[in-house]
Amino acid sequence: MGSHRIQILAGLGLLVAGLLVAFLVGHQFLKPAKIPPSPTTQSQVKIGLVPINTRRATDYSTEEMAAFAERFEKAFKPAIKKWCLAYQGRIPFKLEAVTPDKFHSRLAGGLYTFMIDGTTLTISDSKQGTRVFYMMTQEAAHDLNTIGVHNGPRNLTVPVTREEVLRMVKADTGVDFQPNQVEIKPTAAACAVDGGAFVEVGRQVLGDLEIMTGTNISFVVAADGKLICYQH
């Protein structure tokens, strides 16, 4: 997997900062090959000179929460349902578990984070549409960042096929990716997760950076085939 792949979860602030720059300028952009672990607890994150403001759900007025609940039913819920159907049987929570009262915080640029029994789920809501942007289970935030202790040989098998991946991401994005655009690598080669898989679809790399195209997808599945991390 390479040592840089162990850095897959280096921090929410770095990725969100890059995404917001992209949202603001409306172009493709470069980002480090990293995925965030959880919502930031700070009110403001700064990457260079780009301020990223976070507003917690507890700061919303009654009227604002009512408007948010209406938006949730109109846009968020259908997007989450579509995503759950695309990865049916592989989502670590039920669709019904995602409700307005699980709303955690909003970051500038239309990124809304929910906390579902320790799992972080972030929805992107912008002029380009509403979609699931990021998901990470609480256990994965730890296991993907450590090698762990193993008494026997590691399980380097993967629980998902290229055909399954192509079918899922087509249902998710509507894009017909080609088989050679799918990368599947064993998690046991780089972290504590045995028998899982790192999956990259449509990845474009320039040096040590990945080019975020708006359609490429990265996710990690555990040995049971369920998603423990996702980024779109």
Q: What is the pLDDT of residue 204?
A: 86
Please, which residues bridge with residue 89 across strands?
none
pLDDT for 168: 98
Q: How far is CA 103 from the centre of its chain?
A: 16
- What's residue 26's pLDDT? 36
User: What is the dihedral sign for C-alpha 157, 138, 218, 209?
Assistant: negative
Query: Helix 162-173 crosses helix 77-86 at what angle (to 10 degrees)?
Result: 160
CA angle 126, 208, 18 (to 5 degrees): 20
**Among 89, 101, 119, CA closest to 226:** 89
Query: Tokens representing 6?
Result: 């162990």
pLDDT of residue 7: 39
pLDDT of residue 109: 87
Show the beta-strand stretches assigned E in the chain.
29-32, 44-47, 50-56, 103-107, 111-116, 119-126, 129-136, 182-186, 197-201, 205-206, 209-212, 217-221, 227-231
Q: What does the chain come to in residues?
A: 232
Structure tokens at 49: 């000179």
pLDDT given for residue 205 in this prediction: 84
pLDDT below 70 — which residues of the chain?
Answer: 1-52
Residue 52, pLDDT score: 61
pLDDT of residue 141: 94
Query: Nearest to residue 11, comparing CAs of 181, 128, 136, 169?
Result: 136
Give me the DSSP letters along 197-232. Answer: EEEEES--EETTEEEE-SS-EEEEE-TTS-EEEEE-
